[in-house]
């Protein structure tokens, strides 16, 4: 599977661990950064990952920040992306079966490496159920982000 990955400083260490593990399991990886523990802005690493997913260059994407929240919010601003923050294997399974999540978001400061590997493995190998979930996903796709949303002060 082709996987695009990105992380900020809070997810860098977990990203590096997962990259080695995923490559060892035969996956091809695109690393959108970051490349160190130096403080960076998480939105800067989302675009390359989601664009790879949306274009079909990557089958799926994985984003990691400290809590996973910032990456989730940012990724879900892109039309066609269904990013799911998963803190345990059950959330990973459900995000694929029910929501056809195409981007997995992990919390680098809340998820240990072994749990992250279990989450990623389940997320990569679980199929979308379809059926009753398809109309729900169609409703999501019809939503458009507000053009006049106020910026934080």
Specify the DSSP element, H or E, that contains 127.
Answer: none
Please state whether the predicted TM-score (pTM) of the whole model is above 0.85.
Answer: yes
Q: Residue ranges of the alpha helices (H) in 39-112?
A: 46-55, 69-75, 89-97
What pLDDT sits at residue 112? Answer: 97
What pLDDT sits at residue 140? Answer: 85
Is residue 133 among the annotated active site residues? no
Q: Residue 144: pLDDT above 70?
A: no
- Domain extent, residue 82, equals 2-142
| Burial of 3 (C-beta count, 10 Å sphere; 0-12/13-18/19+) | buried
What pLDDT sits at residue 88? Answer: 98
152 located within any domain: no
147 located within any domain: no
Q: Residue 16: pLDDT above 90?
A: yes
150 located within any domain: no
34 located within any domain: yes
149 located within any domain: no
Q: How many domains in the chain?
A: 1
Which is catalytic among the residues 65, 79, 86, 133?
A: 65
Dist. CA 50–CA 45, nearest whole Å: 9
Strands (E), the chain: 2-7, 28-31, 60-65, 83-85, 103-107
CATH number at residue 102: 3.40.1400.10
What pLDDT sits at residue 147? Answer: 62
130 located within any domain: yes
Which of the two residues, 107 and 147, has the higher pLDDT score? 107
Give 63-99 pLDDT, tens digit per residue.
999 999 999 999 999 989 999 999 999 999 999 999 9
10 located within any domain: yes
CA distances from 18 to 37, 76, 78, 112, 133 (A): 16, 22, 24, 11, 30
Is residue 65 among the annotated active site residues? yes
58 located within any domain: yes
């Amino acid at each position: 599977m082709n996987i695009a990955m990105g992380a900020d400083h809070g997810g860098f260490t977990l990203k590096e661990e997962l990259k080695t593990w995923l490559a060892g399991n035969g996956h091809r990886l695109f690393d959108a950064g970051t490349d160190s523990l130096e403080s960076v802005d998480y939105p800067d690493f989302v675009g390359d990952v989601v664009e790879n997913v949306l274009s079909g260059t990557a089958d799926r994407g994985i984003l990691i920040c400290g809590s996973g929240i910032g990456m989730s919010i940012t990724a879900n601003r892109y039309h066609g992306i269904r990013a799911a923050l998963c803190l345990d294997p059950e959330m990973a399974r459900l995000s694929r079966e029910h929501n056809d999540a195409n981007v997995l978001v992990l919390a680098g400061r809340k998820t240990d490496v072994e749990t992250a590997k279990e989450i990623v493995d389940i997320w990569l190998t679980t199929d979308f159920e379809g059926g009753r979930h398809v109309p729900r996903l169609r409703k999501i796709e019809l939503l458009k982000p507000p053009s006049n949303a106020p910026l934080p002060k």
